[in-house]
Amino acid sequence: MAILATRGAIYIRFPPLLHHTNKLPNISKSVRSRVPTGRSIGLSLFARYSPAQDFSSRFQDSIDNLPNLVEDIFQTSLNTGPRGAVRLVQGIQAVIGVGGEWLTDLSKSANASSGLPMQMQLGLLSPLYLRKLFERMGATYIKLGQFIASAPTLFPPEYVLEFQRCFDNAPAVPFEEIQAILRQELGGPIDTVYEYVDPVPLASASIAQVHGARLRGSLDEVVIKVLKPGIEDVLVVDLNFVYVVARILEFLNPELSRASLVSIVKDIKASMLEEVDFKKEAANIESFRGYLEAMGLVRQATAPKVYPHCSTKRVLTMERLYGVPLTDLDSIRSLVSSPETSLITALNVWFGSLLGCETFHADVHAGNLWLLRDGRIGFLDFGIVGRISPKTWTAMEIFLTSISSEDYEAMAASLVDMGATDRDVDAKAFARDLKQVFSSIQNLDTEIVIAAARSSNTNTTTVAANVVVDEMQMNTLFLDVVRVSESYGLKFPREFALLMKQLLYFDRYTRLLAPNLNMLQDQRISIASNRRNSNIVDL
């Protein structure tokens, strides 16, 4: 059990259920033998993707694919442009800076009688200095660091533990720079649009910064989400570089294509670039608000109103909502008499949006799903959304039904139908392994967050704490389910991954707010599949 104290709050964190693949409780031996332990990144990758073809065959395939690789790298380089050279210089400066820290620490350790620690021997590849290097490289690498911290099934525990620091708030951009962006984007003085802008940010993430404000004229309380300066250019350059590396790795070892390495990088790139286009996020919010209005749900749930006259691609001005995350049980009890009823409302609204809205909210962690002061459910931050394809939804219906009925053979069959694979799957063995995984999830420990002091800032602290907790736990659980499926050669579309992750979030809320509720069997909850015969348009 770890006790952390941050910004006036104490977090008592019990060990996550699943720290590492070789510690999966009740997982069959056959699954363990197929999933890498992660003790060594290089060794686990080599063991998992060792060449299955003879040398001459692989060499011929490489020769055949070489023109496509060269063309792809050339085109990506053109798209990157001169920004790549600037970013290269920044990367060299980051390496020199962190390298200087390592040399300083090395000289101190060299004088110690206990010998040179392993961390110092590894140099910039050690967890500590690699994390520092990622932080110096900025937003893209911070997000990659968050992925490492959330993937204990892929990376050694020392790296997972160290990179959890990447979940901390990113350094704030000086308010003068935020003001300059606002003037540029809004085309004039800030005080013609806002009566007041709080210079102290409410939050500062790797990509954007959020400030509280009050509109001129209407005096509406709002929040302004501002894209950090230069972040889009940095993302394009960094993600293009990561893509080229992935292409080269697949070229050198074609077996890596089975892991869809390039496809994963493409998906990460598309997702991250969508997050920096606030016009798309504004459209996602308005689409969700339209769904709530069409379904008569505005008294049950809401999303922040967007103010188009002071919103652009880099600036998003929204209604300020006040509430608490769905993991803050004590505060929820002070707002409503039945936390279970509020959870059922959230479930019905979200399930209904799967088919009733053009996109569904695909990031319902505790920082984005609140119980508002007026008792409604508030859906925040629509930077990450998903869409359902007919094929995925048909399989997903069976999958959800099989979860509620604990029919693991039907679950295995639905996942096989949903996933792409180039080999036969032992459905019965797959079903047995899925049963073990879902049995382990039932034992998930709930995190406990205790606020040291109740003040106007307490809710902000609680939200920040729960975002970290959710990301670490839910990513771990999701990855364990997916890794078992991948051990049978299955590769799932992104939409399934998004849906699965949200269900795990809701599973956590259910255990905290309504321990006796079965969200897939309770008659008060309408899963989207039950709405097919209604007036909601099927996508």
Backbone angles phi, psi at 412, to 5 degrees: -60, -40
325 vs 370: CA distance, rounded Å: 4
What Rg, from alpha-carbon coordinates, does the chain have?
24
Q: Angle 350-330-211 (CA atoms, 0-180°, nearest 5)?
A: 65
- Whether residue 65 contacts residue 247, with contact meaning beta carbons closer than 8 Å, is answered with no
DSSP state of 491: B
Which residues on adjacent β-strands are paired with residue 202? none
In terms of Cβ atoms closer than 10 Å to its own Cβ (0-12, 13-18, 19+), residue 299 is exposed
Structure tokens at 411: 């679950």
Residue from 61, 191, 328, 363 carrying the catalytic annotation:
363
Within 10 Å of residue 420's Cβ, how many Cβ atoms? 11
Residues 6+ apart with CB under 8 A from 362: 384, 385, 386, 498, 499, 501, 502
Look up residue 341 and give its amino acid: T
470 as an active site residue: the answer is no
Q: Would you list the DSSP string of 178-241?
A: HHHHHHHHHTS-GGGTEEEE-SS-SEE-SSEEEEEEEETTT--EEEEEEEPTTHHHHHHHHHHH
| 3-class secondary structure per residue, 231-244 | HHHHHHHHHHHHHH
Structure tokens at 370: 């609140």
191-206 burial, b for 16+ CB within 10 Å, e for fewer? eebbeebeeebbbbbb
Q: Which of 231, 165, 164, 171 has the alpha carbon at shortest distance from 201? A: 171
Residues 6+ apart with CB under 8 A from 44: 36, 37, 38, 154
505 vs 461: CA distance, rounded Å: 20
**Positions marked active-site:** 363
